[in-house]
């Protein structure tokens, strides 16, 4: 079965319902493609997990978000305030799930294309300034991730206004902005059990230790430099 997942190509996003909805000028979301094969992050993250994570979990967030969006637009048009408010939880959860996972796929890269290479340039200096070293930052993120109860995410973000790096956790699928409106996510690590259970079982610390081997610091640097362009 592992062989089959490694040979499986990435799936194009589902276009179901987009035609119908666009006639009402409602912008729905679609499942983004991965820039790499499901099996290319082995042995850090198994191809089976990547496939399930992308094709089932992320897809269900996309589907449910689109559904909730359609119900929301109906309720807004009808002026049904109580339904609008009731749908907020579903939108936050599924929309957050879509946003977070979209960032997550870009945060990972196979070793062959630079996954795991430590950060350089402005992000590297900022990390050394705020945390002392990349190792210290990794240690901090891993500790926060391991201590998180239940489902959630652990983030490396940058505060746009205060111009400093922060390590934050969010519960369930809450995006980083729920912890601060000026926070921009650079790196997110999914610590929901579905992200590691089939491979690491309950040993979350091992997952956190190993994932750094496939983290794409280049993408994080890219986001950081967009926020704080080099003068």
3-class SS of residue 159: strand
The H-or-E segment that residue 167 falls in is: strand 164-171
Based on DSSP, count helices (H) and strands (E) in the chain, helices before strands. 11, 3
Q: Does 57 bind other proteins (CB under 8 A)?
A: yes
| C-beta of 105 vs 219, nearer to other proteins | 105
**What span, in angstroms and rounded, lies between the C-alpha atoms of 231 and 156?**
23
Q: Tell me the per-residue interface mask from 14 to 53 with other proteins, x by CB under 8 A, - otherwise.
A: --------------------------------------x-
Q: Does 192 bind other proteins (CB under 8 A)?
A: yes
- Residue 157 Cβ vs other proteins, minimum distance, rounded to whole Å: 21
Q: Does 140 bind other proteins (CB under 8 A)?
A: no
Q: Does 197 bind other proteins (CB under 8 A)?
A: yes
Among candidate residues 163, 114, 161, 156, the one with its CA nearest the CA of residue 139: 156
Q: Nearest-5° angle of CA 49, CA 94, CA 204?
A: 35
Residues forming the site for other proteins (CB under 8 A): 52, 56-57, 60, 89, 93, 149-152, 171-173, 192-194, 197-198, 201-202
């Amino acid at each position: 079965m592992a062989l089959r997942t490694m040979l499986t190509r990435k799936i194009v996003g589902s276009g179901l319902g987009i035609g119908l909805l666009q006639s009402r000028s409602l912008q729905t979301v679609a499942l983004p493609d991965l820039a790499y094969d499901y099996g290319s992050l082995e042995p850090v993250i198994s191809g089976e997990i990547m496939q399930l994570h992308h094709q089932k979990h992320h897809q269900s967030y996309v589907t449910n978000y689109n559904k909730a969006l359609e119900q929301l637009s109906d309720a807004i048009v009808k002026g049904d305030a109580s339904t609008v408010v009731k749908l907020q939880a579903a939108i936050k959860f599924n929309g957050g799930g879509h946003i977070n996972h979209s960032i997550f796929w870009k945060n990972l890269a196979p070793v062959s294309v630079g996954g795991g290479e430590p950060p350089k340039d402005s992000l590297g200096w900022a990390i050394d300034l705020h945390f002392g070293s990349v190792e210290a930052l990794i240690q901090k993120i891993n500790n926060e991730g391991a201590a998180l109860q239940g489902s959630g995410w652990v983030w490396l973000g940058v505060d746009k206004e205060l111009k400093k790096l922060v390590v934050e956790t969010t519960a369930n699928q809450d995006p980083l902005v729920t912890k601060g409106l000026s926070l921009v996510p650079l790196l997110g690590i999914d610590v929901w059990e579905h992200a590691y259970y089939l491979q690491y079982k309950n040993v979350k610390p091992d997952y956190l230790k190993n994932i750094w081997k496939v983290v794409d610091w280049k993408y994080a640097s890219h986001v950081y430099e967009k926020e704080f362009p080099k003068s």
